[in-house]
C-alpha cells in the first residue's frame, strides 16, 4: 500500500503538470510608439520585465512597437490591440469618440516643455505670431497647445493660419524661407530650436498637466482580465524604479532607451528634463485624484468639439463622458474614457 501511494503521487503530479501545460495562458497585445515617455515599454519588453510580470499573473503580453503613432491608436481602436500608449486628448478623440470604452490604466507623465511654439527671429514674443501661418500637425496636441497659447495672450485661432504639416516633414519645412512659425514636440522641437534665429515663445510647461501620456486598455478587457492591469502596472513601476535611480543600472537603461529613440544619453536626458515623469505611483495618483483632472479634460473636450473631433453626431463638448475619481465630466450615459486608479493604487500599496 505504501509503495502504491508513493507511486500515485508522482503520477498525479505529472498529470497535473501536463494538464497545466496544455491550458494555454491567455494572451494580450499592447502597442507603443517612439516618444520619451513611452520608451520604457520598449526597454521593459527587451529586458523581459513585462514577460516576468505577465508570468506572475499567469498571462502572456506581447509588446509591439509601431512606428506611426496615429496608426498605433487606430489599430487599438479597431480592436487589434488590448492596450496602447497615447495622450489624453487622443484617447478622447480617437477610441472614445469612436465608441471604444477605454481606461487610462497608467498616467506615466505629462509634457512639461516637450511641446512648444517656435517663431523665426530673435527675441520674439508670442504676440508676434498674430497674422502668421503656423505649421503643425493639425488636430493633434500641437494644435491644442497652439490654441491654449493664443488664449493666454488674448488671441484666437482666427488670428493665425494653421498649415497642416506632418511631423516627418516638420524640420525640413522649418528650414524653408516661407515658414515663420511652427508648433511641434520633441525631439523635433529641440532640432528646430538648435537652428539659429529661432525663439521658443510658448511651451507645455505653461499648461502643466494638460498633455498627459497614458497607457490605456480596453475597459471590457480589463474588467474581464484584471491580471492584465496588474501585470502592466507592475512592470511599469519596476522599470520606473530602475530608470529613476542614480546607479549604473539607471544609466544603462536610459542609454538603451536613448539609442532606441535615435539619440544619445545626453539627448534623452534633455527630453526627460522637459517631461514630468511619474516615477512613483503616488505621483500619478496625486494628479488623477486632483480636482484638476476633469477641468483639464473639459478644456480638451471643448477644443476637440470645436474642431469636430468628437464625431459628427456630437451635439456639444459634453457628448462623451469622462470618468475620474472625483466624478464625471460630460454625459454620464455615454462614459467612454475612464481614469481608473485601482491598479496604480495597488502599486502604491505594494500589493502587486
Asked if residue 124 and residue 263 are part of one domain, the reply reads: no
In a domain, residue 42? The reply is yes
In a domain, residue 4? The reply is no
Contact 29, 80 (CB under 8 A): yes
Asked if residue 317 and residue 248 are part of one domain, the reply reads: yes
* pLDDT value for 108: 97
Residues 6+ apart with CB under 8 A from 303: 89, 144, 147
Asked if residue 38 and residue 97 are part of one domain, the reply reads: yes
Task: Please tell me whether residue 93 adopts helix, strand or coil conformation.
Answer: helix
In a domain, residue 80? The reply is yes
In a domain, residue 219? The reply is yes
Final residue of a structural domain among 175, 206, 237: 206
In a domain, residue 18? The reply is no
User: Cell triple for residue 339?
Assistant: 481614469
Task: Give the other-Cβ count within 10 Å of 60's Cβ.
Answer: 15
In a domain, residue 325? The reply is yes
We report the CATH number of the domain holding residue 122 as 3.40.190.10
* pLDDT value for 2: 36
Asked if residue 260 and residue 157 are part of one domain, the reply reads: no
What pairing do the DSSP bridges indicate for beta strands 26-32 and 83-87?
Answer: parallel
Asked if residue 284 and residue 163 are part of one domain, the reply reads: no
Task: Please tell me whether residue 181 adopts helix, strand or coil conformation.
Answer: strand
Asked if residue 180 and residue 225 are part of one domain, the reply reads: no
Name the domain count of the chain: 2
Task: Please tell me whether residue 162 adopts helix, strand or coil conformation.
Answer: strand
Helix (H) or strand (E) holding 54: helix 49-56
Contact 182, 149 (CB under 8 A): no
In a domain, residue 6? The reply is no
Asked if residue 337 and residue 309 are part of one domain, the reply reads: yes
Asked if residue 174 and residue 45 are part of one domain, the reply reads: no
In a domain, residue 14? The reply is no
Cα–Cα distance for residue pair 305/139, rounded to 1 Å: 11
Q: What is the pLDDT along the chain (352 residues), one digit of tens a residue?
A: 333 444 444 445 555 454 554 567 899 999 999 889 999 999 999 999 999 999 999 999 999 999 888 899 999 999 999 999 999 999 999 999 999 999 999 999 999 999 999 999 999 999 999 999 999 989 889 999 999 999 999 999 999 999 999 888 999 999 999 999 999 988 889 889 999 999 999 999 999 999 999 999 999 999 999 999 999 999 999 999 999 999 999 999 999 999 998 889 999 999 999 999 999 999 999 999 999 999 999 999 999 999 999 988 899 999 999 999 999 999 999 999 999 999 999 999 999 9
Final residue of a structural domain among 147, 179, 206: 206
Asked if residue 333 and residue 237 are part of one domain, the reply reads: yes
* pLDDT value for 69: 84
Asked if residue 274 and residue 134 are part of one domain, the reply reads: no
| Domain span including residue 257 | 27-110+211-349
Asked if residue 330 and residue 308 are part of one domain, the reply reads: yes
* pLDDT value for 23: 63
Final residue of a structural domain among 206, 224, 251: 206
Asked if residue 302 and residue 323 are part of one domain, the reply reads: yes
Amino acid at each position: 500500500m505504501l509503495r502504491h501511494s508513493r507511486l500515485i503521487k508522482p503520477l498525479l503530479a505529472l498529470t497535473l503538470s501536463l494538464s497545466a501545460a496544455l491550458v494555454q495562458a491567455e494572451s494580450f497585445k499592447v502597442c507603443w510608439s517612439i516618444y520619451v515617455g513611452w520608451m520604457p515599454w520598449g526597454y521593459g519588453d527587451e529586458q523581459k520585465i513585462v514577460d516576468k510580470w505577465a508570468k506572475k499573473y499567469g498571462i502572456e503580453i506581447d509588446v509591439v512597437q509601431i512606428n506611426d503613432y496615429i496608426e498605433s491608436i487606430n489599430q487599438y481602436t479597431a480592436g487589434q490591440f488590448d492596450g496602447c500608449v497615447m495622450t489624453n486628448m487622443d484617447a478622447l478623440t480617437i477610441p472614445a469618440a469612436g465608441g471604444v470604452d477605454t481606461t487610462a490604466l497608467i498616467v506615466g507623465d505629462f509634457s512639461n516643455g516637450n511641446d512648444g511654439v517656435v517663431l523665426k527671429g530673435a527675441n520674439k514674443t508670442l504676440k508676434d505670431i498674430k497674422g502668421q501661418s503656423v505649421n503643425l500637425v493639425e488636430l493633434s496636441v500641437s494644435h491644442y497647445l497652439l490654441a491654449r497659447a493664443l488664449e493666454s495672450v488674448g488671441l484666437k485661432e482666427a488670428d493665425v493660419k494653421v498649415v497642416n504639416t506632418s511631423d516627418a516633414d516638420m524640420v525640413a519645412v522649418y528650414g524653408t524661407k516661407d515658414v515663420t512659425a511652427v508648433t511641434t514636440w520633441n525631439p523635433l522641437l529641440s532640432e528646430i530650436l538648435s537652428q539659429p534665429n529661432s525663439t521658443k515663445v510658448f511651451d507645455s510647461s505653461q499648461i502643466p498637466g494638460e498633455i498627459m501620456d497614458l497607457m490605456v486598455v480596453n475597459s471590457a478587457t480589463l474588467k474581464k482580465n484584471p491580471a492584465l492591469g496588474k501585470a502592466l502596472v507592475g512592470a511599469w513601476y519596476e522599470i520606473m524604479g530602475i530608470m529613476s535611480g542614480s546607479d549604473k543600472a539607471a544609466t544603462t537603461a536610459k542609454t538603451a532607451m536613448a539609442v532606441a529613440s535615435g539619440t544619445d544619453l545626453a539627448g534623452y536626458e534633455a527630453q526627460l528634463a522637459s517631461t514630468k515623469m511619474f516615477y512613483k505611483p503616488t505621483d500619478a495618483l496625486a494628479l488623477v485624484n486632483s480636482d484638476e483632472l476633469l477641468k483639464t479634460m473639459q478644456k480638451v473636450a471643448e477644443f476637440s468639439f470645436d474642431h469636430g473631433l468628437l464625431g459628427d453626431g456630437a451635439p456639444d463638448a459634453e457628448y462623451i463622458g469622462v470618468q475620474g475619481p472625483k466624478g464625471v465630466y460630460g454625459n454620464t450615459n455615454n462614459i467612454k474614457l475612464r481614469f481608473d486608479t485601482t491598479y496604480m493604487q495597488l502599486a502604491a500599496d505594494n500589493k502587486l
